[in-house]
Amino acid sequence: MAEIVLDHLTKSYPDGATAVQDLSLTIADGEFVILVGPSGCGKTTTLNMIAGLEDISSGELRIGGERVNEKPPKDRDIAMVFQSYALYPHMTVRQNIAFPLTLAKMKKAEIAQKVEETARILDLTDLLDRKPSQLSGGQRQRVAMGRAIVRHPKAFLMDEPLA
């Protein structure tokens, strides 16, 4: 994990609406933080700015001490699980969890080991050869989390993953 620093972050849209205004927050390496607030208060927008899915209007975002405001999402080493977890329906649980490692062109033996370890941690071992349609909602959520954590990214962002 890495320290995440939000230094006076603001997100304003072209129509003049401000979703996040002057947010400053430091999340220590290894710390677990939950953003709580009413619908529309900017929680998801904040997560999207950290992940690089939303541009930052002003302020500075640092991950692991590095300014990442202009870095594309793929270069931030962040894993994000959305409320509407997106699993590939034609792939097995094993293939879904392995997907980011396959994209990274990791060796097959290493992928297999990491998938097995992640499945064990999330109690998915007996489900590895099933398709998402054969899983309960809770099992699908765990698969989505597994696909995020198998990469060992600098940070995990979860947008209502257990809603």
pLDDT (tens digit per residue) in 36-60: 889 899 999 999 999 999 999 999 9
Comparison of pLDDT for 160 and 23, the residue scoring more: 23
What pLDDT does 108 receive?
97
Q: Is the pTM of this model over 0.85?
A: no
pLDDT at 122 over 80: yes
Q: In degrees, to the nearest 5, what angle opens at C-alpha 29 toward C-alphas 154 and 41?
A: 80
Residue-wise DSSP of 87-136? --TTS-HHHHHHHHHHHTT--HHHHHHHHHHHHHHTT-GGGTTS-GGGS-
pLDDT at 137 over 90: no
pLDDT at 163 over 60: no
